[in-house]
Amino acid sequence: AYEEVGIYPEDLKILGCLTPVSIPVSGYSVVPVVAYSTIKPNLIPEKEEVKTIITCNFQKLLASKTEQIINVRDITISVPCYMVKNYIVWGATAMVLSELEAILVSVMR
């Protein structure tokens, strides 16, 4: 998190990791780490790694889950996504959020 948005590791309490996600377009594999902080960080995007930082209420984010029709390489597909402040969050990020939501729902039962 420090490299991408300037969050100091010592300010975080790591809760665990989610399932790694492969991103075929870039060839990257992402290991999502779930953590929290008791202080509000001053987020500073690293221009080469982060286009935009979007902050929102987590419950509202999860409630915004929907399906979106998109075109990828001349193929039309329906993908799960989240609507956040006029942004569509989909792909690997939506997959990570869906897994986190499923875990939270199972824990809260």
Q: CA torsion sign, 88 to 92 to 23 to 35?
A: positive
Residue-level pLDDT at 25: 82
Domain borders along the chain are 1-51, 54-109
pLDDT of residue 6: 94
DSSP label at 59?
Answer: H
Position 85: which residue type?
K
Given this model, what pLDDT does residue 68 score? 85
**Tens-of-pLDDT digits for all 109 residues of the chain?**
899 999 999 999 999 999 999 988 889 999 999 999 999 989 999 999 898 999 999 899 999 999 988 887 888 988 889 999 989 898 899 999 999 999 998 988 8
pTM: 0.83
